Structure 1
């Protein structure tokens, strides 16, 4: 067995087989756990791999600003090696590597104390909404297996364009999007398509008669009616939307916000972040490992909250308060 396969075996054992689930982590997280990303699956090994921390490098786009970013995932240790601080040591190596690779911002979809001890700040990354049923005969939808999009170059092209029109998003290549669609299919997602001429897409996970909306792409109007149409086909439908999505304001106008899903964020390379923002016309001064804004000195943690946290939610709204050249 190769070292890469040992990593995947450990990750499956910790997250899946130990709780009697199908060992399909590679299918669920193909970008993070692909063999092409093996060099970023950091590990400790004796006779076999016994501890892993995964890094996935992908940029974040906030309007016209693109930040070099990363995700941390699949952090695990074999039961026999726990209580030795191995995940903490590997995470230190990951932070060092990301800093050397000029990462501005790192996200982790967890809120464990381990990340807080490493300087990650807890924010809410996803908002949950309960969708009400709406009867409207003017709304027509086409329920599709995701494989239909993958097989149809025209539909796939529209799907990719719809994703890339989102102002605030993770920067994914066309191949990334294809791989992500394959992963969504493996996890029981389907797609509702509206407007055949200029397709709009709503991605839904189905489970036990309920629907869970993951993505809303390219929907220009009548979002309430289109979601209401989908809601009629399930016992209950919830939408899980990134807090920086433009769809949130519209959803808040006709849905009840039911929950906030926690994650954590950390500025990694402060110099690179300041350089990127100043390249876009801002005037932020670096003072040792701190920043000066409008005459006020902020630590890295304070600057993280200033830029990326608003009312407990992940945000990128506060650039308006920065000095502009």
Structure 2
């Protein structure tokens, strides 16, 4: 019979080895290196199933704070979910997932982000969310503006990097150390056997923007790269996107959340594909999420309880009563018609999940 529990310090080597066995191939960096928060004894959040003392199933769990226009959302993300092939189809992952839900609820988090969209998650109430514009940039599509001096990130830039990160109204909370740690780990880029290259746009000795994108571990004839994270002035970001091609890229994919209208405006002449965010989300506690979103709703909308299953939404003297499930759909997808002008409020603009904080 399997034993299910939080991992202890001595278990994390087994966890990274199992994740490498399931997800990594020759030439990949170990998951333990690429995702330090997932395999962190200090955080002590991840869960495993053990058979005869051997870790055979694992779910990585990472807490985070998300800032949305003044609101602070307490969230968790799961990733590196894996089961040893010899122990699959025994319900181990599902049992661990229930333990994850209990942990999240006890911790005061209101939402859970999942890097995948497998049936095991959808059956548990996880759903798709977010809207983005995907651009595939080619050499010559963009030129760097002469306004900025563009160079690689230096060891003297971290205070200004943190400022650019912090000034984004929709973002994961990132300390200087977290920025440096996650940039070095290059979690999402490592899936494609890439490290990060970080460029900055400078004007008058002040950083105006930064751009992190993937570069292969080893030299390749054709480099199809992806942007991982950016911040700062949209015009400067556009210049950095153009400057990235000095590294002999064949293409550069950038996924711009729909709420980042200023950057989309800078790229409006390029072809784009409108997509949902990758991954899924589960609202763990609707009332708690609404409470944490309070500063975001201020001067836009008021929401009050009608009964345990319904809420009343009020905007400019108009009101409507909707069910909790309908409200969740509004929050995550903005697609529910309620007869009120709420397009500037919903969907809630969650950060893009495949950035530095990808799990």
TM-score normalised by the chain length of structure 2: 0.76
Report deviation, 1:244. Answer: 4.3
Report deviation, 1:2. Answer: 2.2
Report deviation, 1:41. Answer: 0.8
Quote the Cα distance in structure 2 between the aligned partners of 1:129 and 1:295.
Answer: 38
Matched, 1:42 2:50: no
Do 1:70 and 1:107's aligned partners in 2 also have CA atoms closer than 8 Å? yes
Quote the Cα distance in structure 2 between the aligned partners of 1:320 and 1:71.
Answer: 22
More divergent stretch after superposition (285-294 vs 172-181): 285-294
Q: Deviations over 1:172-226 (max 9, x none)?
A: 2332212112213974111122115211211121244333222221125354444
Matched, 1:118 2:124: yes
Structure-2 change in CA distance of 1:49 and 1:61 (3 Å): same
Quote the Cα distance in structure 1 between the aligned partners of 2:322 and 2:238.
Answer: 44
Matched, 1:249 2:294: no
Q: 2:195 aligns with which of 188, 201, 212?
A: 188
Q: 1:102 aligns with which of 88, 108, 128?
A: 108
Q: Helix, strand or coil: the match of 2:206?
A: coil
Q: Deviations over 1:16-50 (max 9, x none)?
A: 1xx4453511221122222212x211111122011
More divergent stretch after superposition (109-118 vs 248-257): 248-257
Matched, 1:306 2:330: yes
Matched, 1:238 2:270: no
Report deviation, 1:245. Answer: 4.0
Q: 1:296 aligns with which of 293, 314, 321?
A: 321
Q: Deviations over 1:99-145 (max 9, x none)?
A: 1111111111211111111101113565421225234672554342x
Backbone CA RMSD of aligned residues: 3.0
Do 1:104 and 1:272's aligned partners in 2 also have CA atoms closer than 8 Å? yes
Q: Helix, strand or coil: the match of 2:159?
A: helix
Quote the Cα distance in structure 2 between the aligned partners of 1:137 and 1:116.
Answer: 45
Instruction: Flag structure 2 segments of 5+ consecutive residues without an equivalent.
Output: 1-8, 314-318, 337-341, 349-359
Instruction: Flag structure 1 segments of 5+ consecutive residues without an equivalent.
Output: none
Structure-2 change in CA distance of 1:116 and 1:222 (3 Å): same
